[in-house]
């Protein structure tokens, strides 16, 4: 007993030393990734998200950021988040309809008038209702972000009319709505992950691709593409996704931290898209691209008449009109 009594202070001191060395609260590290470089509208989004989560949780949660598809392309990243092998991802909606089919309605060509309307739809009841479709697929959608309005580039010829697209082999996202619409233009769609696009264009595996200006500039596609047409044919949203099991383990106050951090990430993301849009055309022209800035969109929409009829049956014409006419 005397032995135990003598060593009790030493044991207590050792215990205090261990406590002092330990962090004030348990820290958890999660990973989030994008398919573009850090210096992009996507990079700004996840960097802001990571910073906000760290600040709002007093360092209890650390978000590790990965860029340029270094831990997976978009489709496999969404799949990883669904399965729980990834914690979070920032993705365009390109591959998302393969997991949450209802989201595909947003990919209908010429559905949105401009950025103001697109953002209002996503931030309003229509977009928020769509976010509720994700938990059933083992995904939590924290917020709508964006890639921007998509435009067409190619290495073969200038595109001003729908007929100019015929026969062009174009990389498309792995998105059935896009593929159906592009076939109607006479395009030969070639679905592939974005991480493969630069090399495919460089090697001539495909003639062209379509993406927002923010993506075209961030990926330096002017190095492998000569012609750009500002078709604005599809508005491309993006999402911050989280694994549902990971989300379910968070206390309510911490869930709010992630939601609020995602809102700040979206603000930064959209601001960068706006900034890129203002200077991208002049920048790409200065680097040798031929740019067609104005097209008659009604001619492109006319070609899609039968395709629109199919979409009306698939998604419900009322649902499409509700988005198209949203103010």
Q: How confident is the model at residue 25, as a pLDDT?
A: 58
Digit-coded pLDDT (tens) for 150-200: 999 999 999 999 999 999 999 999 889 999 999 999 999 999 999 999 999
Question: Phi and psi (nearest 5°) for 17?
Answer: -65, -40
Question: What distance in Å separates the CA atoms of residue 211 and residue 129, rounded to the nearest whole number?
Answer: 26
Enter the pTM of the model.
0.89
SS3 of 13, please? helix
Q: How confident is the model at residue 1, as a pLDDT?
A: 45
Q: How confident is the model at residue 184, as a pLDDT?
A: 97
Task: Give me the residues of the chain with pLDDT under 50, please.
Answer: 1-4, 6-24
Domain 15-324 of CATH type 3.90.1170.30:
no
CB under 8 A, 24+ apart: contacts of 127-136: 130/100, 130/102, 130/103, 130/106, 133/100, 133/102, 133/103, 134/100, 134/241, 135/244
CB 162 within 8 A of CB 185: yes
């Amino acid at each position: 007993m005397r032995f135990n009594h003598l060593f009790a202070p030493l044991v207590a001191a050792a215990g205090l030393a261990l406590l002092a060395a330990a962090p004030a609260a348990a820290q958890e590290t999660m990973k989030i990734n994008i398919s573009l470089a850090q210096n992009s509208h996507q990079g700004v989004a996840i960097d802001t998200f990571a910073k906000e989560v760290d600040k709002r949780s007093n360092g209890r949660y650390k978000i590790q950021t990965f860029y340029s598809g270094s831990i997976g392309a978009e489709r496999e990243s969404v799949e990883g988040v669904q399965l729980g092998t990834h914690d979070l991802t920032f993705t365009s909606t390109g591959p998302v309809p393969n997991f949450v089919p209802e989201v595909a309605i947003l990919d209908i060509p010429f559905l949105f008038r401009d950025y103001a309307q697109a953002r209002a739809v996503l931030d309003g009841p229509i977009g928020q209702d769509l976010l509720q479709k994700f938990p059933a697929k083992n995904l939590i959608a924290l917020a709508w972000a964006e890639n921007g309005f998509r435009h067409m580039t190619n290495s073969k010829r200038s595109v001003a009319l729908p007929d100019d697209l015929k026969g062009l082999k174009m990389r498309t996202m792995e998105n059935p709505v896009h593929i159906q619409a592009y076939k109607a233009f006479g395009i030969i769609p070639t679905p592939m992950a974005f991480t493969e696009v630069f090399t495919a264009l460089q090697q001539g595996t495909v003639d062209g691709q379509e993406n927002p200006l923010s993506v075209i500039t961030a990926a330096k596609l002017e190095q492998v593409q000569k012609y750009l047409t500002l078709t604005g044919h599809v508005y491309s949203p993006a999402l911050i996704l989280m694994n549902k099991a990971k989300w379910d383990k968070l206390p309510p106050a911490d869930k709010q931290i992630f939601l609020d951090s995602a809102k700040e990430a979206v603000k930064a993301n959209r601001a960068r898209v706006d900034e890129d849009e203002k200077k991208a055309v002049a920048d790409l022209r200065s680097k040798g691209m031929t740019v067609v800035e104005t097209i008659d969109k009604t001619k492109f929409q006319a070609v899609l008449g039968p395709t629109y009829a199919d979409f009306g049956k698939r998604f419900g014409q009322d649902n499409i009109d509700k988005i198209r006419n949203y103010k």
